[in-house]
């Protein structure tokens, strides 16, 4: 199959379960969105910012960091210098293994100034968001239950809005950074929709899996099975040891959005099959 057909096959595979109506979101996107996004990363060098981390109570959920780490490792292998951008306590958790930029600003004005200064200093070649809460119309952050979580979020939206490089966002529900691209299409979903947009929006049943879709295309282009050594279970185990919780159950388990690690591993194997590595 050609590149567009490959992208569409990946796009369809990532929304087959449809627990949060991401097939509705997919219908609002021009086919080939994974291909277009991955092209921005194909020859990425220098700094790539990867924002992630969705707060749940006083900790963070597993969906987002797993995909961010997988993409971080992949981009490092390909010669880029990724940096994970997140707020505490996730930033503390990841700092022992990864380059981390903590989100510390407590108001949007300060956050915009910090983002502008950081973007100027780092000159990223791409900015990516994986399961980051996105600001709603009232300039607040909400979770899937409609609870206001602004005080625990930190602000990543300014990095997307002020970046002078390509911006990519992955979401799975409608309240994440990037969903502003399809605000009208998802207006009927039971969610406080985000208004922050991006250059390329990617959707998946679980946001972590969207990272695997990008990696699948990079693997095809570099003729290297980049998904082969990614273990969702191992990444969940690492995060769990630092206090992560499942975003749906709010329990410290080796799951993502209520799904066992085997589900994510199955997605990886399906993508490897689609891209011809198995």
Distance CA 99, CA 201 (A): 25
**Alpha-helix runs per DSSP H in 165-250:** 207-222, 232-240
Distance CA 278, CA 274 (A): 8
Work out the number of other CB atoms within 10 angstroms of the CB of residue 211.
Answer: 28
Burial letters 176-185, b for 16+ CB under 10 A, else e: bbbbbbbbeb
Residue (of 171, 165, 224, 233) closest to 196 by Cα position: 171
Tokens of 219: 């693997």
pLDDT in tens for each of the 278 residues of the chain? 999 999 999 999 999 999 999 999 999 999 999 999 999 999 999 999 999 999 999 999 999 999 999 999 999 999 999 999 999 999 999 999 999 999 999 899 999 999 999 999 999 999 999 999 999 999 999 999 999 999 999 999 999 999 999 999 999 999 999 999 999 999 888 899 999 999 999 999 999 999 999 999 999 999 999 999 999 999 999 999 999 999 999 999 999 999 999 999 999 999 999 999 98
Per the document, the length of the chain is: 278
Distance CA 53, CA 86 (A): 6
Query: Are 212 and 205 contacting, i.e. CB atoms less than 8 angstroms apart?
Result: no
Work out the number of other CB atoms within 10 angstroms of the CB of residue 227.
Answer: 21
What is the set of domains in the chain, with CATH numbers?
3-274 (3.90.1640.20)
Distance CA 147, CA 14 (A): 27
Element (DSSP H or E) covering residue 7: helix 3-13
pLDDT per position as a tens digit, 89-101: 999 999 999 999 9
Q: How far is CA 88 from the centre of its chain?
A: 17
Q: What is the pTM of this model?
A: 0.97
Q: What are phi and psi of 70, to 5 degrees?
A: -60, -45
């Amino acid at each position: 199959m050609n590149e567009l057909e490959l992208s569409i096959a990946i796009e369809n595979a990532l929304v087959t379960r449809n627990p949060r109506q991401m097939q509705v979101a997919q219908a609002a996107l021009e086919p080939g969105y994974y291909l277009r996004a991955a092209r921005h990363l194909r020859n990425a060098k220098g700094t790539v910012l990867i924002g992630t981390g969705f707060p749940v109570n006083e900790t963070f959920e597993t969906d987002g960091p797993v995909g961010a780490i997988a993409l971080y490792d992949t981009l490092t292998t390909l010669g880029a210098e990724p940096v994970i951008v997140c707020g505490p306590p996730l930033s503390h958790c990841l700092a022992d293994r990864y380059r981390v930029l903590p989100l510390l600003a407590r108001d949007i004005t300060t956050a915009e100034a910090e983002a502008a200064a950081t973007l100027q200093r780092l000159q990223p070649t791409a900015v990516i968001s994986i399961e980051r809460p996105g600001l709603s119309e009232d300039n607040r952050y909400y979770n899937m239950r409609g609870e206001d979580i602004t005080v625990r979020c930190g602000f990543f939206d300014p990095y997307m809005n002020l970046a002078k490089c390509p911006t990519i966002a992955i979401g799975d529900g409608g309240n994440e950074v990037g969903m502003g691209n399809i605000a009208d299409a998802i207006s009927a979903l039971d969610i406080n929709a985000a208004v922050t947009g991006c250059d390329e929006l990617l959707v998946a049943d679980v946001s972590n899996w969207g990272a695997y879709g990008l990696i699948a295309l990079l693997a095809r282009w570099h003729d290297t099975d980049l998904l082969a050594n990614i273990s969702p279970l191992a990444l969940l185990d690492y995060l769990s040891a630092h206090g992560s919780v499942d975003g749906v159950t709010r329990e410290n388990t080796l799951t993502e959005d209520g799904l066992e690690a085997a589900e994510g591993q199955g997605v990886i194997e399906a993508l490897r099959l689609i891209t011809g590595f198995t």
